[in-house]
Amino acid sequence: MSMMAINHTDNPPLIELQGVTKVYGTGQAAMHALRGIDLRIDEGEFVAVMGPSGSGKSTCMNILGCLDTPTGGAYHFKGIEVGKLTRTQRTRLRRFYLGFVFQGYNLLNRTSALENVELPLIYRRVPASVRRARALKTLETVGLTGWESHTPSELSGGQQQRVAIARAIVTEPAVLFADEPTGNLDTARSREIMDLLSGLNQDPGITIVMVTHEQDMAAYAKRIVHFLDGLVALDKQNGRAT
């Protein structure tokens, strides 16, 4: 996927934010979460978004993930202006192009790992037999062969996050958004998850945008974007400031 992007330079970038602002509330109570973000992410990148609480990184992630729309400015996803889409159109965009991994795993309770991974394929109308095969293969990719029939409560935190990652990548998304994926895990488990994400970024080359506040985890990314007070404070490639 990444090779193709390089060959077609006239293609629109995967993600492009231009002067994006987000304001909650109105008048005196108005809260400016984003004050004008310019950000471009190309296919194949592994971006870590960092910043203190209230810096706007979560708001930005919600907008990037098409769960929310900007108040001002423009967000183009594959050249499509997301702010002009209806709620249903944004849902379709998520369904076909985006994958999500959350800090709290957010798996369906009392539902087996396999069925959790199958869920996004159900909404894509993938036939049952194909669905099962793909879910099994993806669970194998994240190293959970043999745990398919276990429900989230029977899995460790690290295993639950692996199921969540499997669920996010089973649809072969254009971008995987990870919101503090290691926030609830100990260091050893965190490193395993980061190794997994890093591996997925290399092969099959999934673009990853990850929010984290841990320097160690951000180090796995190829690029680090720092947020501060609703603005991009720093944008550097793998340790080298730009």
Task: Summarize as ranges the residues that interact with another protein (CB under 8 A).
Answer: 62, 65, 67-68, 87-88, 91-92, 94-96, 98, 100, 102, 106-110, 119-120, 122-125, 167
Find the shortest distance in angstroms from Cβ 75 to another protein: 16
| Beta-bridge partner residues of 170 | none
Closest contact distance (angstroms) between CB of 197 and another protein is: 18
The least CB distance from residue 168 to another protein, in Å, is: 9
Decide whether 109 or 153 has the Cβ nearer to another protein. Answer: 109
Nearest CB to another protein, comparing residues 51 and 152: 152
User: Which of 11, 71 has the CB closer to another protein?
Assistant: 71
Kindly state the smallest distance separating residue 177's Cβ from another protein, in Å. 10
β-bridge partners, 35: 21
Structure tokens at 67: 């769960």
Residue indicated by tokens 């990853």: 208
Strands of the 80-81 sheet, one edge to the other: 31-41, 15-24, 72-77, 80-81
21-46 burial by CB neighbour count: b if 16+ within 10 A, else e? Answer: bbeeeeeeeeeebbbebebebbbbbb
Name which of 112 and 224 has its Cβ closer to another protein. 112
- Element of type H or E holding 9: none
